[in-house]
Structure 1
Amino acid sequence: MSWRELLPPWLVIIAGLTGIVLLCVSTKDVPVTPFRTKYGIVVDAGPSRTILFIYQWTTTKANKTGVIRECSSCPVQGPGVSNYSDSPQTVGKSLEPCLNWAQKEIPAEQHSQTPLYLGATTSKRQMNLTHHLAALTVALKSSPFDFQGEKILSSPDKEAFNWVAVNYVLENFFKYDWRGQLVPSGKGMAGVLSVGGTSIQLTSKVEENQAPEDGVRLQLYGQMHNVYTRHCPCHGTDQLRSRLLSMLIQDQRSAKTVSNPCWPLTYSREVQWQSVHTGPCALSDDTLDVPGPEEVFNISGSSNPTACIRLVQSLLNSSSCSFFKHSLSSVFKPLQTRFLVISEAMDFMRETVPSPDLGQATNRLCGMSVKELVKESQKSLDTLVDYCIVSAFIFHLSTKGYTFDFDGSIWTAFQKKMGDTSSSWTLGYLLSLTNTIPQDSPSFLKGIEPGVWSLLLILFVMLLTGSFMRISYRVMVKENSFNNRNSSVFDDN
């Protein structure tokens, strides 16, 4: 028997041996990490408005905490939950358009796997909020998403989550290296100064051995952070204005028109005494000659930045707020922290009078005319004229040793990523919750060692090459035989 006749069975034997080798070669499970996008929903049920936020991130985590990349939001039509005291059931119906919007934004196959959280920020005056949240809960439970429950956030909780959002956006927790890998940033944590209508909050990280009992402990990206908020009532925008006007009226009681150096020229307003001198934030009366509650005063702007700053300083020097006491630095070390200010007044100042020097920027803002103020913003003039008082207040804090970050590029990047900064706590809230969201289990593929794989690949190539050569040879033999027969036929003829 010739080798040509033995070749086919030998090829079959080689193929069989190859199959046996494949069955005997040891394999190992190779994990394949799923990279699909995950979603999370947070409903901010605030006292004045309700907003639904959708966040998305990949399944990859950094030390058990998620890396959130994008956000979209849907403002709920109507007032906040506290305004539905007469008809709590209406609260749930008002949420339906945004829930329908969320179902379109998130792929249908992921609806049941998308966690949905309800968070509410409230004050001590709103004791009936539980009834309103119950109506919201019914609507959220009926949605196709995975409702995780409700949480009423205290002021320290909200400010702590604001702090998380700010430092996350500023990449103070981690950063991406040149390979695209997440690595510790090596930067310190920024503080946050939030200026509200009635009060201000100063939030910063404190050391473990100095953490007060009412602080907030957060586990983020493999590290524990102790965050503490110093709350200062009576120093928000509205209260600063009222206290300042009250002091001016008492100082200039004999004048027909009270001059206010913090307001621009040609701007004036009639103010009733009881509107600026009432409640726990009212200044104490230094004289017996106190105006009557119904007495009205004409307050006229004189646009004097130097006098305004001096007036605000005299108002705050007598403040009982712990912000102004240097003894705080030895305990909580706020003077060693760089703070980002969240305030409409500071936003306006960054855009209209950008300057690295806070004192110069404050002087320029307090020296702006009514025409200049209105030209630079669409807000009402009654709101714009108070920005000078707030900027003078921030400048006063800077003279006490606090450092504020007014870098326009940083703030622009922050606003671009955060969008609605007044609800930035929702981002910090979800980031902390990603620690409890289980990471998708990776799928596995069977794999063999590279050397064995290379050997088997060569064996298969040789087998295929031999088979191809054998087929080619057989075809050539048949063609030659056919040609020879035809040639002999022609020769016989």
Structure 2
Amino acid sequence: MSWRELLPPWLVIVAGLTGIVLLCVSTKDVPVAPLRTKYGIVLDAGPSRTILFIYQWTATKANKTGVIRGCSSCPVQGLGVSNYSDSPQKAGKSLEPCLNWAQKEIPAEQHSQTPLYVGATTSTRHLNLTHPTLSDDLLASLTVALKSSPFSFRGAQILSSPDEEAFNWVAVNYVLENFFKYDWRGQLVPSGKGMAGVLSVGGTSTRLTSQLEEENQVPEEGVRLQLYGQMHRVYTRQCPCHGTDQLHRRLLSLLIQEQRSAKTVSNPCWPLSYSREVQWQSVHAGPCAVSGDTWDTPGPTEVFNITGSSSPTACMRLVQKLLNSSSSCSFSKHSLSSVLQPLRTRFLVISEAMDFMRETVPSPDLGQAVKRLCGMSLKELVRESQASQDTLAEYCAVSAFIFHLSTKGYTLDVDRPAWTAFQKKMGDRSSGWTLGYLLSLTNTIPQDSPSILKGIEPGVWSLLLILFVVLLTGSFMRISYRVMAKENTLSNRNSSVFDDN
């Protein structure tokens, strides 16, 4: 019998034995998560502009919530969406350049699977209250334009103020890795850190957003968010008379009333050589108006020349007096004890004035930093920033207001390195809510089903490998032996033939 005749039977034997062994070995299903990148688009329809944000994340989630890794944006040319109330069709038309840009940024095969959301904020909220029909027409125009795009349009909505601030809170804590962090192996683990609060100083109001620790603390207007397997209860307190614009008006109104008899009103919060003419009705109107002790009220059209005197101590004292007399929003450490518990929360401050102060006069002592900022001349301020002189002149008063909060039981994060890292990760802070918004929505975005592989334990795999080697070696040796035996037999026969001859 030749080796060609012996090889097939032995291969069949080896394969059969191996198959029997494999059938007897227990296996388990091993899921293999897809590594394909997913994309999501959020349009921030703000008061003065609209921005299209593209976020991306891997298909793998952490406790049902996505882990977003990247962001790019496209500012829409033109005004904010609410400015198109007279011609809603133009609102949808204005989005086309950025939608075309997004089509190039996202792979074509994923266009139909990329969710697209629109969130309208401050100005559209106001329009919806005053002219609901116009706001509905605007949203309808946006819907028509976005449904014609290749992306998966999921709807346009007007965000409530508490929702917007809650999503901003999510973004801040996500970027600061307060929900989770990556360990040295690159795996997600609980961060072990507490959640930060957010103190946001806007133009018309100041907002304090914080997580509530106890269930019975949640007010009716609180927002509940399910993130990374945990429920977070977030509450925002708005102080409508403490935004940058309102602080400015109330401060000037108080100064004019206190220095009514003076030809020129001195403002200790403005830098030297800076002055401005102010009409009384422009600073003393509305629910935030400040009333002084004098009965000699100026006429509505009376104009006052206000000039800066650059006195940090006097400015801080003036701001403190202004806020202590405020009835619209009390900032004592006990006033929020049933809601925000300021003594237990560390607040990250979002304010243009604080950004400027961190860059120009960094100091671990907030009080000293404010005094240094308030002592800067107009020339120094202009040299450090490209903002307008009117904007720069207001930074001192806003910074003094933030310092005042730190004396009322609020722990404020003024650390420059931490803030710089936050800025790099966050990008456009004014639209930070879009990140938090999409993070919360990833809970509803279906996750790709992982492929399943059959797996065995490492020890069993090693035994099978040894068995394969033994069987193959034995088969090879046996076949080699038979071939050699056959050759010896033939050799002996040939020798016998020669001997007979």
Residue-by-residue CA offset, 1:425-447 (whole Å, 9 max, x unaligned) = 11111111111122221101233
* Aligned residues of 1:329 and 1:335 also touching (Cα < 8 A): no
SS of residue in 2 equivalent to 1:91: helix
What is the CA distance between 1:297 and its match in structure 2?
A: 1.2
Q: Mapping of 1:466-477 within 5 angstroms?
A: none
Residue-by-residue CA offset, 1:80-126 (whole Å, 9 max, x unaligned) = 01111221101111111111111111112221221111111135531
2:186 maps to which residue? 180
Q: Mapping of 1:41-440 within 5 angstroms?
A: 41-123=41-123, 125-127=126-128, 128-206=134-212, 207-284=214-291, 286-332=293-339, 333-440=341-448
What is the CA distance between 1:325 and its match in structure 2?
A: 3.2
Range that drifts further, 463-472 or 22-31: 463-472
Which amino acid in structure 2 is aligned with residue 317 of structure 1?
N
Q: Percent sequence identity over matched residues?
A: 83
Which amino acid in structure 1 is aligned with residue 195 of structure 2?
M
Which amino acid in structure 2 is aligned with residue 298 of structure 1?
N
CA RMSD of aligned residues (A): 3.0
Distance between the aligned counterparts of 1:196 and 1:452, measured in 2? 64
Q: Mapping of 1:450-469 within 5 angstroms?
A: 450-462=458-470, 464-465=472-473
Which amino acid in structure 1 is aligned with residue 232 of structure 2?
H
* Aligned residues of 2:182 and 2:188 also touching (Cα < 8 A): yes
Q: Quick one: which of 455, 459, 471 aligns to 1:447?
A: 455
What is the CA distance between 1:27 and its match in structure 2?
A: 4.2
Distance between the aligned counterparts of 1:389 and 1:278, measured in 2? 20
Distance between the aligned counterparts of 2:11 and 2:226, measured in 1? 63
What is the CA distance between 1:21 and its match in structure 2?
A: 4.8
Count of aligned positions? 491
* Aligned residues of 2:42 and 2:52 also touching (Cα < 8 A): yes
Residue-by-residue CA offset, 1:316-368 (whole Å, 9 max, x unaligned) = 11101334234324312123211111000000000000011111011100000
1:491 maps to which residue? none
Return 5+ residue gaps in structure 1 as ranges.
485-493
Range that drifts further, 339-348 or 122-131: 122-131
What is the CA distance between 1:67 and its match in structure 2?
A: 1.3
Residue-by-residue CA offset, 1:128-155 (whole Å, 9 max, x unaligned) = 3222121111111111111111221111
Which amino acid in structure 2 is aligned with residue 129 of structure 1?
S
Distance between the aligned counterparts of 2:97 and 2:146, measured in 1? 12
Structure 1 residues 323 and 71: CA distance shift in structure 2, 3 A: farther
Residue-by-residue CA offset, 1:370-417 (whole Å, 9 max, x unaligned) = 110000001111100000010111111112121110000111011101
Structure 1 residues 29 and 368: CA distance shift in structure 2, 3 A: same
Structure 1 residues 18 and 178: CA distance shift in structure 2, 3 A: closer
SS of residue in 1 equivalent to 2:301: coil
Structure 1 residues 68 and 10: CA distance shift in structure 2, 3 A: closer
* Aligned residues of 1:334 and 1:402 also touching (Cα < 8 A): yes
Distance between the aligned counterparts of 1:38 and 1:255, measured in 2? 65
What is the CA distance between 1:477 and its match in structure 2?
A: 9.9
Give TM-score scaled by structure 2 length.
Answer: 0.90
Range that drifts further, 446-455 or 180-189: 446-455
Which amino acid in structure 2 is aligned with residue 73 of structure 1?
S
1:489 maps to which residue? none
Residue-by-residue CA offset, 1:16-73 (whole Å, 9 max, x unaligned) = 4444555665544321111222111111111211111111112222222111111111
Give TM-score scaled by structure 1 length.
Answer: 0.91
SS of residue in 2 equivalent to 1:324: coil
Which amino acid in structure 1 is aligned with residue 61 of structure 2?
K
2:131 maps to which residue? none
Range that drifts further, 180-189 or 111-120: 180-189
Structure 1 residues 22 and 242: CA distance shift in structure 2, 3 A: same
Residue-by-residue CA offset, 1:448-481 (whole Å, 9 max, x unaligned) = 4545544443344345546666887899999999
Structure 1 residues 5 and 440: CA distance shift in structure 2, 3 A: closer
* Aligned residues of 1:11 and 1:463 also touching (Cα < 8 A): no
What is the CA distance between 1:282 and its match in structure 2?
A: 1.6
* Aligned residues of 2:38 and 2:58 also touching (Cα < 8 A): yes
Which amino acid in structure 2 is aligned with residue 383 of structure 1?
T
Which amino acid in structure 1 is aligned with residue 168 of structure 2?
N
Structure 1 residues 323 and 109: CA distance shift in structure 2, 3 A: farther
* Aligned residues of 2:142 and 2:156 also touching (Cα < 8 A): no
Structure 1 residues 198 and 4: CA distance shift in structure 2, 3 A: closer
Distance between the aligned counterparts of 1:298 and 1:30, measured in 2? 77
Which amino acid in structure 1 is aligned with residue 179 of structure 2?
F
Distance between the aligned counterparts of 1:172 and 1:14, measured in 2? 57
Which amino acid in structure 2 is aligned with residue 159 of structure 1?
E
Distance between the aligned counterparts of 1:118 and 1:435, measured in 2? 17
Distance between the aligned counterparts of 2:357 and 2:161, measured in 1? 27
Structure 1 residues 80 and 451: CA distance shift in structure 2, 3 A: same
Which amino acid in structure 2 is aligned with residue 269 of structure 1?
R
What is the CA distance between 1:9 and its match in structure 2?
A: 3.6
* Aligned residues of 1:265 and 1:300 also touching (Cα < 8 A): yes
Return 5+ residue gaps in structure 2 as ranges.
129-133, 493-501
SS of residue in 2 equivalent to 1:327: coil
2:498 maps to which residue? none
Distance between the aligned counterparts of 2:408 and 2:22, measured in 1? 76
